[in-house]
């Protein structure tokens, strides 16, 4: 029977407790529970903003942090996360 759960944590707990045989969740959540993970897809995420806001100090700082070694090391240590290109500025259009 298919069951809709509210979060990745709920999916992992359902599998661990035996309430589900399989579930869709991130690699990071599965790794926390020691579950086997088989990727179905990869997704890329980005921060969208207007070009006029690129020079705003909070935006500049956010990009600096995302490009820094501390951020890349911390986030890169999470199973399934890839920091390649983090903090890069790309124009669409």
pLDDT tens digits along 51-67: 899 999 999 999 999 99
Three-class SS of residue 57?
helix
Q: State the maximum Cα–Cα separation within the chain, in Å, rounded to a whole number.
A: 51
Residue 89 has a pLDDT of 86
Confidence of residue 3 (pLDDT cuts 50, 70, 90): confident
Residues 82, 28 contacting (CB under 8 angstroms): no
pTM for the whole structure: 0.69
């Amino acid at each position: 029977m298919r069951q809709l759960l509210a979060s990745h944590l709920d999916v992992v707990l359902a599998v661990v407790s035996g309430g589900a045989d399989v579930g869709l969740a991130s690699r990071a959540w599965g790794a926390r529970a020691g579950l086997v993970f088989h990727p179905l897809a990869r997704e890329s995420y980005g921060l969208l903003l207007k070009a006029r806001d690129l020079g705003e100090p909070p935006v500049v700082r956010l990009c600096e942090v995302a490009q820094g070694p501390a951020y890349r090391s911390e986030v890169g240590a999470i199973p399934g996360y890839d920091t390649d290109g983090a903090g890069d500025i790309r124009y669409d259009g």
